[in-house]
Structure formats: C-alpha cells, structure tokens
Amino acid sequence: MYRVLYRKWRPQTFADVVGQEHITSTLAHEVESGKVSHAYLFTGSRGTGKTTCAKILAKAANCLNPVDGNPCNECAVCKGLDDGSILDVVEIDAASNNSVENIRDLRDEVNYTPVHTKYRVYIIDEVHMLSIGAFNALLKTLEEPPAHVKFILATTEVHKLPATILSRCQRFDFHRITPENITSRLMYVAAEENIKVDEDAALLIARIADGAMRDALSILDRCSGISDHVTSDVVSNAAGLAGKDYLFEFADNISQNNPSEVLSLISKLHGDSCDMERLCSELINHFRNIMIIKTVRNPQQLIVCTDIDLELYKKQAEKTTLFKILYYITTLEECATLLKNSTNKRTQMEMCAVKLCIPDISGDISAIMARVERLESALKDGKVTVSAPVEKQEAPAVREKPEVKAESEPEERPAPPPPPPTPAQQTVVSADEDVLFTGWGEVLEKLNVTDKPLLGILGVSSAYIRGEFLLIKCDNPIFSQFIRQDNHAKAIKIAVYEVTGKKYRLGIYKSEEGNTKTNDPLADLVNKINNL
C-alpha cells in the first residue's frame, strides 16, 4: 500500500530531525542523563516536528538500549511501540477529546502502572483545543503526575493556553525550518525514493512550504505523481504558482487608474468561478511581493515565485510607489475582512477595485500620499505648472519665517542666499528664495519605515529649502512638539540626507496669520486639480 512521503519519512531518531537542534540535543541529553521531565510543551508552527519529537522522546525514554539519548528502534519496546503491540504511549487528539469527561477518564487511567514500559507517556496534540473545564481538570495531574507518567503537550497556538498550564511544563519552541534545511532533506528523501528532482525545484518547494517540512514532502509527493523529473516548472504548476497572469493584469490596470478594465477582469474571473476571497488574498500577496521588492535588497529570499515572475514583479515595482502599494494592501485587507460576511462578494470586490483605481475617493493617509506623489511627479514631468502667487510680489513683507528649529535659531543668522536648485528640486521655485522640496514624498516613505508615529503626525505636509535649512510645513499643531524631540528630528534628518545627499538643518515653515492665500504651490495644485 502506498504511504505518503511525509508519513513514510517521519524521523525515527533525534539525529534525523532537521533544523531543531536546539531542542533535540536537549531532549537527547535529558534521556541520556535520566532526567526526563514530567511535563513538556512543544509549540511552533505546523509541520515542524512537534509530534515527531514527542514520539521519539516517548520511545527514547522507554527504550531498553538507548543510543546517546536516541531510541535504538531495535529492542522489544521500540518495536512494540512502532507496531502498536505496546499501548503505553497514548496519543490523544485534544481537538476531538476536549471535554472535562475526557480529562477525568485520563486522570483515572494514570493511576495504573504501564504494562511493558517504564513510563506511560501521554502525548496530547492540539492541546489548545481543550475546554476551560478540561484544562482545570488537567492541572493537578500535570503538576504532580505519578512517577510512571509523563506528559507531552503539543500545540501550534501556545497563546491560547492558560498560564497555569504553561507554568507546569518545560517548554520548547520549534522554529520554522529554513529553506536550505528543507531543500537538503527533500534531496535526501528524493534520492532514497529514486525521484529525480532538480536542486532549484527542491528550493522552490522549500520556499513554498514556508518552513513546514510536512508541506514540503506533500508537494514533492504531488510533483512526483505528475512527472518523473521534478523541475521548477512542474513545481510551479503543481503548487498553483503558474497561471497567475491575471494578477499582473489586475495590478497594471490598477496602477493606471483604469477601473473599467479591472471591473471587466473581475467579471471574467467571476464567470470562471474564481472565488472572490481567494482573488482578494492573491492580490494582497501580489502587492506584498512588490512591497518587498521596493524595500528589501535581496527580495528573492522573501518572495515565493518563479524567476520569470520575479522579473515581472520588479517591472511593476519600478512603475509604482511605496505609498500606493501600502494603500492597495490596506484597502484589500479591509475588503478581505468585509468579504467574510458579505452576501454579495462580487459587489464587495468591485467596490474595492474602484477604490484601488481611484485613490482620490479615499481619505486614507496612504491614499492622500499617493495623490501627493502623483502631483509631484506631474510637476517633475512638467505636465502641470504653477505660477508664483501674485499677492506675494505685491506684498513681500508677508514672507514666512522659520519658527522653531531642532537646533540653533536660523533667524539669528543672516539669511543665506538661495541655493542653486538641484535636479530634484528645480521643478517649482516660488517668487522668493524658498524652494519647494520635491523629494518630500520620498522622505515620508522612509519615515514610514523608520518613524511611523511621526509620519502619522506629518499627514499632509510639504517642505521648502531655504539655504541650509529644510523648513517643514505641517498644519498639525502637535508637529511642533514632535520636531523638538531629538529622535524625531534625527529621523527626518537621516531621511532627508538619504534622499538629497546633503545635511540640512530643520525648521518649521509657518504661515502668517490671516494669510489664507496659500504660499504652498502644492496646495494650490491640489485646489486646482480638485476644481478641474
């Protein structure tokens, strides 16, 4: 009878367990020195070896001839436990035995001494599923079990366990297994099974498995069923990575603000029975990949895709900004939540698509930043021009001055001559020497990573350059308090330095009272565009 690979290749000794050396070495040492605890808790994500290690530990603790703390797998006890003729290792699935009665039965049972072994071991899997009453019924036994009883609790959701349980167990946290470790285990299993697998295909499987060895072996199983030679193409087909062109089409049309195309794409996918919740989560993953490409130097390690798709992602990443991506993901996340309870999922998805294509209708901060960026790039490309406000020439006395600085007061110094505009700044020059700083959007993008609270305060803001000063214009009254704090001022300075390559001193750009006519070309622009 065919046994699936992950069951057939369950490690039989601690030495076979991959990527959990911090746990297996301790457990083997405890067995070897005869110091096996009365209660263990194994936690960590799925398919990382919790049940496997629980079984090995139960066997090793009872083995007649343990080898360096590992079960020998040869003696009568090891063999009896493996073939089920010895019943002193009891596996309980807490998901289906979660009531107080189940635990009461267990409490009665622990009083009987084991028949063939030194210890009766209870492995309680998915222990977080026990009811509150069941947990309470377990406490006393867990604290002071009879000398012949050991407990091993296992769960993926340790945060759901009461503190009273946690404090009675020796806890081990299983890590996600690295792609390298998964790859070499896959290559080993494939060789033993005579399955021909390319190394890059194994690595792709490892990345799809996201740290879970069980998933990796399952995918290998599926791939070897499809083809004698497992290549990365076979893997992408078997794992459903291929054929995602519609996501790229979706993303292209969204960034080109093309709602009609996006709506007809939804209509087509809906007609093909595509589930809207799945579409939404695929789109979130798609934009997440672009976000990673825009922020990380070696994105390949964090993205699961084929090499061809990676290039396509890079192209899309070049064409968009981080703020837009953040807006897309936020909007799609909201939609994913709404979709769960929606009676008309298609309409919900369509509404989301319209929002994605037209950020202007959203009050979300990232949407506003996306608008500002659009305006800035229109300015840069010369698609929109701004003339200096006429009032300014008539009344030069109302010139604005920097008010609060993070460092010394610029008013004390003679006003420096206006700097020659750099390519990034020369797009808009107002009538006086203040130059609109067009790299501000980029600075805010960096602050979104380095100083989120400050970014929240900055909201809709702009900045001007006056000589060696960068003057920030922000209507939020709390801003002046924030900028006085060293860490926030420093975050801005670093971001500005990274964008301009120059060190500026900071100041606040403050409007004269009553001077409602704006001196902010960007604000003028926003008005202008809004009035179109």
Of positions 195, 213, 312, 365, contacts ligand ATP by CB under 6 A: 213
Q: Of 74-82, 356-364, 409-417, 521-529, which segment contacts Zn ion by CB under 5 A?
A: 74-82
- Biggest CA pair distance of the chain: 102
| 156 near ligand ATP (CB under 6 A) | yes
Which is closer to Mg ion, CB of 51 or CB of 62?
Answer: 51
| 20 near ligand ATP (CB under 6 A) | yes
Q: Of 41-49, 314-322, 425-433, 468-476, which segment contacts ligand ATP by CB under 6 A?
A: 41-49
* DSSP track, 383-445: SS--PPPHHHHH-GGG---EEEESSS-GGGSPPPPPPPPPTTTTT-B-SSS-EE-TTHHHHHH
Residue 40: strand, helix, or coil = strand
Residue 485 one-letter amino acid: Q
Which is closer to Zn ion, CB of 75 or CB of 242?
Answer: 75
Across 118-151, b (16+ Cβ under 10 Å) vs e yields bbbbbbbbbbbbbeeebbebbeebbeebeebbbb
Site string for ligand ATP, 340-359 (x = CB under 6 A): --------------------
Whole-angstrom Cα distance, residue 341 to residue 325? Answer: 25
Least distance to Mg ion, CB of residue 48, Å: 9
Least distance to ligand ATP, CB of residue 460, Å: 47
Within 13 Å, how many C-alpha atoms sit on residue 383's CB side? Answer: 7
Least distance to ligand ATP, CB of residue 472, Å: 50
Q: Which of residues 30-69 bind Zn ion (CB under 5 A)?
A: 63
- 287 in Cβ contact with 332 (< 8 Å): yes
Least distance to ligand ATP, CB of residue 64, Å: 24
Of positions 15, 75, 242, 310, contacts Zn ion by CB under 5 A: 75
DSSP bridge pairs for 38: none
Site string for Mg ion, 45-74 (x = CB under 5 A): -----xx-----------------------
Least distance to ligand ATP, CB of residue 226, Å: 20
Element (H, E) at 123: strand 120-125
Least distance to ligand ATP, CB of residue 20, Å: 5
E-strand ranges in 224-331 read 229-230
E-strand ranges in 215-258 read 229-230
- Supply φ then ψ for residue 469, to 5 degrees: -105, 145
Of positions 17, 31, 36, 78, contacts Zn ion by CB under 5 A: 78
Residues that bind Zn ion (CB under 5 A): 63, 71-72, 75, 78
Residues that bind Mg ion (CB under 5 A): 50-51
